[in-house]
Amino acid sequence: MGDVDGILLNFSPGSLMLLNAILAVVMFSVALDLKPDDFRRVASSPKALITGLFSQFLVLPALTFLMVLALNPRPSIALGLILVAACPGGNISNFITHRAGGNSALSVSMTAFATVGAVLLTPLNIAFWGGLYGPTREILKATAIDPIQIAITVTLMLFLPLVLGIWLNNARPELAARLRKPLQHVSLGIFVAFVILALAANWAFFLQYAWMVAGLVVLHNALALSGGFIAATLAGLSPYDRRAITIETGIQNSGLGLVLIFGFFGGLGGMAVVAAFWGIWHAISGIALAALFNRTEAAR
């Protein structure tokens, strides 16, 4: 068996550009639900949003670092976990929060604000937490990762589509309303198909190494969900808001993680398998948790 730290997965530059474009369209379709007024409402009562962003960008990376210290996984797997934790919430979190009977408006606002914050906080978290742990620090040194280039990637892939979607919804609401549902369904379907095809191209590697990351990803996702729930509980938020923050913290933008891994780490095997497995598992755990939450109505 090969060393997962040395495996490079098959992913062409053209595939990377396509993945960038797909994720930009997914972000644009989510932004079609937003208007500037949504941000003003959140700004007038920011406690839930601040708690959610604190959970997303500080609690989860810190819990991930403690997990890596405690379990000492292979370096590329450890850096994959750190990188996924540094990404903003995933777009399917809005759908899952709605299914869970949580605060969908808070979920969408968290996705939007986390996307803006990710331009600065994602590269900083990767560099900071990855640099604190010796084995991952060696990978970061070897790849000479540039936080500014990561920030540019996040801006083009997430921030710009977000701004364009909000602008269109504000300037041409009737057109945004016609585009919203078809674009969300089509873009998400294309993204899922793309991930399946990318997995198929690397299926032998995935089968060989998935067992090494499966338990870690399940534990990591459980920590993320628990961290969000505890942060919201300690902040004294309502169950309605707590559901949104729990799900938003536990659903990570693993698609962005894959873009960063293939764009800046050459498709390093352990990292890519972690992000790919996260992309599968968080959807399963999120939908299961939504079904559990949905048994009772959340107090507001």
pLDDT tens, residue by residue, 193-203: 776 776 676 67
Q: Which two tokens stand for residue 97?
A: 């929060």
End-to-end CA distance of the chain: 53
Is residue 1 situated within a structural domain? no
The predicted structure's pLDDT at residue 183? 84
The amino acid at 183: L
Is residue 184 situated within a structural domain? yes
d(CA 77, CA 69): 13
Q: Which of 93, 35, 113, 114 is nearest to 243 (CA)?
A: 93
The predicted structure's pLDDT at residue 66? 97
Question: pLDDT grade, residue 213 (50/70/90)?
Answer: confident
Residue 283 domain boundaries? 13-293
The predicted structure's pLDDT at residue 1? 39
Burial of 176 (0-12, 13-18, 19+ CB in 10 A): buried
For tokens 């797909």, the residue is: 22
Q: Which of 76, 215, 61 is nearest to 135 (CA)?
A: 76
Please answer whether residues 222 and 120 qualify as being in contact, where contact means their C-beta atoms are separated by less than 8 angstroms.
no
Is residue 300 situated within a structural domain? no
What is the domain count for the chain?
1
* 3-state SS, residue 298: coil
Is residue 4 situated within a structural domain? no
Please answer whether residues 248 and 52 qualify as being in contact, where contact means their C-beta atoms are separated by less than 8 angstroms.
yes
The pTM assigned to this predicted structure is 0.85
Whichever domain contains 143, its CATH number is: 1.20.1530.20
Percent of the chain with pLDDT over 70: 90
Is residue 6 situated within a structural domain? no
